[in-house]
Amino acid sequence: MTDQRTTAGWQPSPPFQHHLGVETVEAADGRALLRMPFKAEFGNRKGDVHGGVLATLVDLAMSQAIRSLKPDLAGLSTINMTINYLEPASGNMTVRGKAIKVGGSIGIAEATCETDDGLVVVQATGAFRMIRHK
């Protein structure tokens, strides 16, 4: 079986990102900006954006911020994330990721997720293992 992380056709943004409709607006110089339009199926019982969707968004933003500094990587793997849900989230989401420290094998990043009206609904930090080509 072929390991897709090391094949030439491996894509830097995962298929799940495309499934959610998340657009990478920018990823450069240790920063990433992503946008996701709201879909009803992203809602929880109250109609707010489900926390799992928000966790995915900050994970994507942090990993893309790190990857913008290390474009030669085969991939990234989340080691851990700390997520603070600050407010109920509704509507379209904008996520900003920032690389804090990128070493030889581990990268640390932070991200915030906000609504169209600028309300910050999630703040997160994470550690990521950088996967090198073999």
- Does position 122 have pLDDT exceeding 50, yes or no? yes
| pLDDT reported for residue 114 | 98
Separation CA 31–CA 66 (nearest Å): 8
| pLDDT reported for residue 12 | 54
**pLDDT per residue as tens digits for the range 21-39:** 999 999 999 999 999 999 9
Separation CA 106–CA 87 (nearest Å): 30
16-131 CATH: 3.10.129.10
Separation CA 93–CA 115 (nearest Å): 5
Separation CA 119–CA 104 (nearest Å): 35
**pLDDT per residue as tens digits for the range 38-73:** 999 998 999 899 999 999 999 999 999 999 999 899
Tell me how far apart the terminal alpha carbons of the chain are, to the nearest angstrom: 16
Q: Which two tokens stand for residue 97?
A: 């990721």
Q: What is the mean pLDDT of residues 82-90?
A: 97
- Does position 98 have pLDDT exceeding 80, yes or no? yes
Q: What is the 3-state secondary structure (H, E, C) of 61-120?
A: HHHHHHHHHCCCCCEEEEEEEEEEECCCCCCCEEEEEEEEEECCCEEEEEEEEEECCCCE
Distances (CA, A) of 123 to 7, 43, 62, 70, 91: 33, 19, 11, 23, 17
